[in-house]
Amino acid sequence: MQEKFKLHFENLANNIFDEKTNKFKQQSQEILNECLSPLKERIAEFHKKVDESFGTQAKEQFALKEEIKRIVEVNEKMTFQTESLTKALKGDMKVQGNWGEIILEKILEESGLRKDEDYILQGVDMQLKHPEGGQPQKPDVIVKLPEEKHVIIDSKVSLTHYERFCAEEEDGKCAGHLKQFLLSVKNHVLGLEQRRYQDIEKLSTPDFVLMFMPIEGAYSLAV
């Protein structure tokens, strides 16, 4: 009987222990879930934000890389164009002349003058001819004044010797480049004098021509 009761109490104790253990596990699990659920949500939100942040950063880095690439390409293109223009301006007299005319027209526009209304380029449609010989004459700019009067502006650019003068490091050679530059300017003046615009029948201009020099440094040096 004693052994029987002993075994019965042992089984009862084990059952109670198992039941309490299971209940404790269940309660512990519920408590942990209550505590960890907000943390899981926070971690999930953080993970999402990290993914979004890295995704956005990757896109921005890609966009920045493409923009830098584009800027480099534009810079290389501008450098090439600048070098080409510099070479052309140094060696091609016709290109130098065209460049000077563009600068002159830009100044006229910024001064409020209207093309074909207040000024005419190259004497378009006027069919101007030299008073002796009849050679066609095309002044760079004819500025129209009241009472059908005109003022002639001619752009003359002589960059070759001026550029050499500015780039020369030996003092002994500077004088030679300066002399050639001044001679070029004087030849331009003589050339304009020989055009005799004031004697052309279709023009009513005083006996002088405004010679435009687009480089202020060159003009100051010549003076």
For residue 106, tell me if it sits in a domain. no
Distance CA 46, CA 40 (A): 10
The answer on 218 and 121 residing in a single domain is: yes
Q: Does 121 share its domain with 24?
A: no
Q: What is the dihedral of CA 116, 120, 125, 131, to 10 degrees?
A: 160
The one-character DSSP state at 191 is H
Q: Is residue 121 domain-shared with residue 79, that is, in the same domain?
A: no
Same domain, 11 and 81: yes
Residue 88's contacts (CB-CB under 8 Å, 6 or more residues apart) are: 95, 96
Alpha carbons 154 and 14: distance in angstroms, whole number: 118
Q: How many CA atoms lie within 13 A of 48 on its CB side?
A: 6
The answer as to whether 34 is a domain residue is: yes
- Global pTM reads 0.55
Q: Which amino acid is at 33?
A: N
Among 91, 123, 153, the domain-final residue is 91
Angle between helix 93-110 and helix 2-91 axes, rounded to 10 deg? 110
pLDDT value of position 85: 57
Q: Quick check: is 52 in a domain? A: yes
Tens digit of pLDDT for each residue in 82-91? 565 565 556 5
- 38 pLDDT more than 60: yes
Write down which residue in 27, 59, 91 finishes a domain. Answer: 91
Q: 194 to each of 1, 18, 39, 45, how far by Cα in Å?
A: 150, 124, 95, 86
Q: Is residue 28 part of a domain?
A: yes
pLDDT tens, residue by residue, 49-68: 877 777 777 777 878 888 88
**Domain count for the chain:** 2
Question: What is the DSSP pairing of strand 210-212 with strand 149-155?
Answer: parallel
Residues 181 and 142 in one domain: yes
Q: Which residue has the higher pLDDT, 87 or 45?
A: 45
- Domain enclosing residue 75, as ranges: 1-91
Residue 61 lies in a domain: yes
* Same domain (yes/no): 61, 155: no
Mean pLDDT of the chain: 80
